[in-house]
Structure 1
Amino acid sequence: MPSDDRSRLVAWDRQLRDVHARLRDSLQIARDAIDDAGEQPASPRLAADLRLFCTGFCAALDGHHRREDDVMFPELLALDPSLADVLAQLTRDHSVLAQLLGSLQQAVDAGHDAATLHRHLDGIEAIMETHFRYEEKRLLGPLSRLVVDREPQEVLGPLA
């Protein structure tokens, strides 16, 4: 959406589902990069592919969560104050995911083998999926009523 065209109604609930789908796809790309690089512990190709993944995926997931924390959650709280506990839990999940992403980056930088890197991705995926399901279960209804005069990227991050 062009920045000067704010007349289009944005369905925030659909936007959130779309962002989650893109993040799931990005996680699969990382798994594929590990598998394509083979089982060598310090493979230069594996390290390069995963650094690229971490730069892209980690930045996208972190950007999505920062936008939620800074923009979307305050808007939802203003719309429905009864969401305070839900939003607090989701914010805690964001912190856990940021730590897991940092651990993955350290493992990539240290040249860990494919099995170790897959374990890191498994942990990220487990928390991410639980988080996404909870978020969608609890927020899609309120998001369908949300009216915010902002670009989707400002509310949901770089993949919106």
Structure 2
Amino acid sequence: MEARDLQDLTLSEFSPPRLAALGNQLIEIHQHLRSLLADSADLPDFSRSLRAHCLAFCGALDRHHTGEERGAFRALAASHPSLRPVLDELRRDHEQLAALLRRVEANPTKAELAGLAAVMESHFTFEEKRLAAVLNELP
């Protein structure tokens, strides 16, 4: 997954065959973000490389969530009104994750990263279960 894939994603950027796999792309992006966070486990606490890695990861996760809210979530709310409560819950998760990201940016330790990883994994799993199939079915 390239960095450009983590930029703001809007449905208008994709051709119809691309839209058919948007749910799959969501899972691929989540896997990439999981991998980035897992890579930080090998870095020592308080190292320069850990701080740089955390800042890059935090930026990528923030861009991913911003893109979801600007693009996919709006499209899903319009086409699947029954998903609005799920989307609201995911937005609340995004706010919680943003607060955790700020803590990690201020103090990138393995303990902070472990807490972020736990919340992020729960969020990603819920989002994938609730949205991936619906995204793949968008006309």
TM bucket, shorter chain:
0.7 to 0.9
- Deviation by residue 1:48-79 (Cα, 9 ceiling, x = unmatched): 21221122100100000000111110011111
Q: Which residue matches 2:81?
A: 81
What's the secondary structure of 2:17's corresponding residue?
A: coil
List structure 1 segments (4+ residues) > 2 angstroms apart after TM superposition: 5-8
> Which structure dedicates a bigger proportion of its chain to helix?
2
Which residue of 31, 45, 48 corresponds with 2:41?
Answer: 31
**Residue 104 (1) aligns with residue 104 (2):** yes
Please say if 1:125 is aligned against 2:117: yes
* Residue 142 (structure 1) aligned with residue 134 (structure 2): yes
Q: CA deviation at 1:28?
A: 0.9
Q: Shift of residue 7 of structure 1?
A: 4.2
Q: How many positions carry a matched residue from both structures?
A: 125
Question: Which residue identity does 2:121 align to in structure 1?
Answer: E
> What is the TM-score of this pair, normalised by structure 2?
0.83
Aligned runs of 1:53-72 on 2, under 5 Å? 53-72=53-72
RMSD between aligned residues: 1.7
Q: Cα–Cα, structure 1 residues 106 and 146, in superposed 2: closer, same or farther, change >3 Å?
A: same
Matches within 5 A, 1:5-24: 7=15, 9-10=17-18, 11-24=21-34
Q: Give 5+ residue unaligned stretches, structure 1.
A: 109-116, 148-160
- TM-score scaled to structure 1, two decimals? 0.73
Bigger Rg over Cα: 1
Over the matched positions of the two proteins, sequence identity in percent amounts to 40
